[in-house]
Amino acid sequence: MRERVHNRRNTEQGGGGVTSSMFDRMLRIDVGRKQSSLWTVPDDVRCYLGGIGYGVKILCDEVDPRINPLSPENKIILTVGPLTGTSVPMHAQSCIVTKSPLTGTILNSYAGGFLGAEIKFCGLDGIIFEGAATEWSLVLIDNDSARFESAVDMIGMTTEEAENFIKEKYGFDYRTLSIGPAGERGVAMAGAFSETRAFGRGGAGAVFGSKKIKAIGVRGSRSVTTADAHLFGKLSAQNMDVLRHARAEEYGLLGIFSKYGTGGGMPLVQGRGALPTKNHTYGSFEDAEKIDGPYFEENLYTRRIACFGCPVHCGRIHKFSGANGKKLWGRGPEYETMFSLGSNLLNGDAETLAEANRLTELYGVDSLTVGVTIAWALEMAEAGKLSVPGLDLRFGNADAVLGLLHMICMREGMGDMLAKGPRQAALELGNDSLASAMQVKNSGFAAWMPRRMKGTGLAYATSNRGACHKRAPIGAEIAGVLDMDSYEGKAAVLIETQNTVNAIFTLISCRFHEFATDHEFYPEIVAAATGRVIQWDEMVTLGERIWNLEKLFNLKAGLTRADDKLPGKCFEPVLGKTSQASVMEEEKFEAMLDEYYSLRGWDSEGIPGMKKLDELGIADYAM
């Protein structure tokens, strides 16, 4: 790991002239004019700390919510935070905020790896992509300047081929971000991939494609300073000790993830009857033990990988045999993909799962939403509502999984309809198929069952980016700290979770970091890094402010209470002996949603009230 916190060349200062880990400048790139300029981050943006805060504030200020997400008027705001590129562990992620072509909402999407640190090493707090090019481009960023190269010869390349092309032609010290064939074709759930990590959710890859940006390369040589280097180093070392201790706990979350990857948690979910199976029809999968983290670790050659500065090493690269018998290497799959391309498709073959996961990365598409879309298609085929000539659309059939995946990413045949996402595909098909599309706002469900976990169901419904599991009380529900089947008090717990996660996402902390770290650590380390004194409750209020800005953007984009709704299948009992016939009762769900709106200070249609907006200092953004 290259650490550029102390004793590196070209040290610069941020924080308005005071030594700070933030540079207070971003690079604006006008893709259409092929120009770039440095933009000084104004005070009204700086108070949002960084990460999601910067992205949401800038998008709300500069982009009309009513625009077509694939038009030149949309912007991509790629941000880092005050701890990115420093010695604080588990802060490798960067954040993309844009308007989503999948959901029509504001989108925040995250990827770990090494891109975020490299952006910081450029002396930047982020990059803003504006406009659209007339021909395919590769954008190369060196410190605070950008240049454009033709990407015509890169069209059709997979994300892996694009990465290799950039490194071999322009330098192996570039960190890369690229789209695959799915992003080139405007597939609604296309992602943007940075080496071993992905901005998967929401279709950011399609937005890059609409701007004809095939890839970017980032290379920096600057260092990151801190306001109080001694205190910062002390707090960072203490936090590393906390995380190492948590990692050493065999049955703790970080210990399991370190040993088996994120798929190490699948046996617990299976045991609780909450593992979505066969398009969320069942809550357990009889072949779960053949595709979970322990199985991959014990049966496929495995190499562990980590993001910048992370002691957990939850990432995995596996060697496996593809459908044609050829030996392949692939990253993952993560637990979420073990669901979406595994249990949810009745796919109990680890090597088929590994190959499908690898294809999502090569084509450049979100493994969650594409898997949920395939599951819906298989259920519709089972019901006799759709078919593909020459392809046996049957749950558990590897050819069906791999075939539909290819068709979606290349927009071939029926794949063109499916490439629009599960909700849009169901609306296009008609024939009472929408109830079986397991999505909210057209974004596919994650690997958790709303009927088994009522608070998580409410989280899916109210998520500003659609069916989001990052801001749900998953841990408390699956571990039994909260009664999974209870509706009582879930709205209040969810609001606290959403505000808290948004707060730490201004720092772009790994979601797992919070599981082992006391909340008071965050304001302490922010002060040591930037010199800014902020209390934890102020950070949570900032998270709430961001949540409300996102909500207002979505309302102005045309969304209503009807979009905070779960699909019809959620109101039917889960099948399977371990799932206790759990069901989300529609009347109780609506009451839970009413309570959620009320506790948020919104009216019965989910519109934030002026009292709440005044309290948060964002009344100027009111409807």
Q: What is the pLDDT of residues 430-475, one digit of tens each?
A: 989 999 999 999 999 999 999 999 999 999 999 999 999 999 999 9
Residue 203 contacts residue 364 (beta carbons within 8 Å):
no
What is the C-alpha separation between 407 and 42, in angstroms, rounded? Answer: 45
Portion of the chain with pLDDT greater than 70, in percent? 97
How far apart, in Å, are the Cα atoms of 603 and each of 238, 430, 595, 597, 623?
44, 32, 10, 6, 12
Residue 537 contacts residue 245 (beta carbons within 8 Å):
no
Average pLDDT over every residue of 36-53: 98
Q: Which range has the worst mean pLDDT, 29-43, 46-60, 309-323?
A: 309-323
Q: Which residues of 26-43 are buried (b: 16+ CB within 10 A; e: fewer)?
A: bbbbbbeeeebeebebee
Residue 110 contacts residue 93 (beta carbons within 8 Å):
yes
CB contact set of 402 (below 8 Å; sequence gap of 6+) = 323, 352, 355, 356, 359
Residue 178 contacts residue 362 (beta carbons within 8 Å):
no
Q: How many CA within 13 A on the CB side of residue 80?
A: 31
3-state helix, strand, coil in the chain (%, to 5): 40, 15, 45
CA dihedral sign of residues 92, 98, 100, 101: negative
Q: Provide the token pair at 169.
A: 């032609």
For residue 99, give the 3-state DSSP assignment: strand
Where in the chain is CATH 3.60.9.10? 25-219
Q: Identify the CATH class of 270-444.
A: mainly alpha
pLDDT grade for 18, boundaries at 50, 70 and 90: low
What is the C-alpha separation between 109 and 585, in angstroms, rounded? Answer: 31
What is the C-alpha separation between 178 and 265, in angstroms, rounded? Answer: 30
17: pLDDT strictly greater than 60: no
Where in the chain is CATH 1.10.599.10? 454-621
More confident residue, 581 or 410: 410
For 541-569, write each residue's pLDDT tens digit: 999 999 999 999 999 999 999 999 999 99
pLDDT grade for 322, boundaries at 50, 70 and 90: confident
What is the C-alpha separation between 393 and 192, in angstroms, rounded? Answer: 29
pLDDT grade for 576, boundaries at 50, 70 and 90: confident
Where in the chain is CATH 1.10.569.10? 270-444
In this prediction, residue 7 carries a pLDDT of: 29
For 291-314, write each residue's pLDDT tens digit: 999 999 999 988 899 999 999 999
Residue 456 contacts residue 468 (beta carbons within 8 Å):
no
Nearest residue to 487 (alpha-carbon basis) of 604, 598, 608, 583: 583
For 268-296, write each residue's pLDDT tens digit: 999 999 999 999 999 999 999 999 999 99
Give the strand pairing for 76-79 and 126-130. Answer: antiparallel
Q: Identify the CATH class of 454-621.
A: mainly alpha
Considering the four listed CATH numbers 3.40.50.12500, 3.40.50.300, 3.10.200.10, 3.60.9.10, the one that applies to the domain covering 25-219 is 3.60.9.10
Q: Provide the token pair at 442.
A: 């057209």
| Edge-to-edge order in the sheet of strand 327-331 | 301-305, 315-321, 327-331
User: What pTM value is reported for the model?
Assistant: 0.96
DSSP structure string for 560-576: -GGGS---GGGGSPPBS
For 365-389, write each residue's pLDDT tens digit: 999 999 999 999 999 999 999 999 9
Phi/psi at 76 (5° precision): -115, 120
Q: Provide the token pair at 147.
A: 């240049």
Residue 470 contacts residue 107 (beta carbons within 8 Å):
no
CA dihedral sign of residues 376, 379, 383, 388: positive
Fill in the amino acid letter for 70: L
What is the C-alpha separation between 317 and 320, in angstroms, rounded? Answer: 10
For 130-174, write each residue's pLDDT tens digit: 999 999 999 999 999 999 999 999 999 999 999 999 999 999 999
Contacts 24+ apart (CB under 8 A), 486-491: 486/454, 487/454, 487/588, 487/589, 487/591, 487/592, 490/454, 490/455, 490/458, 490/592, 491/458, 491/592, 491/593, 491/595, 491/596, 491/599
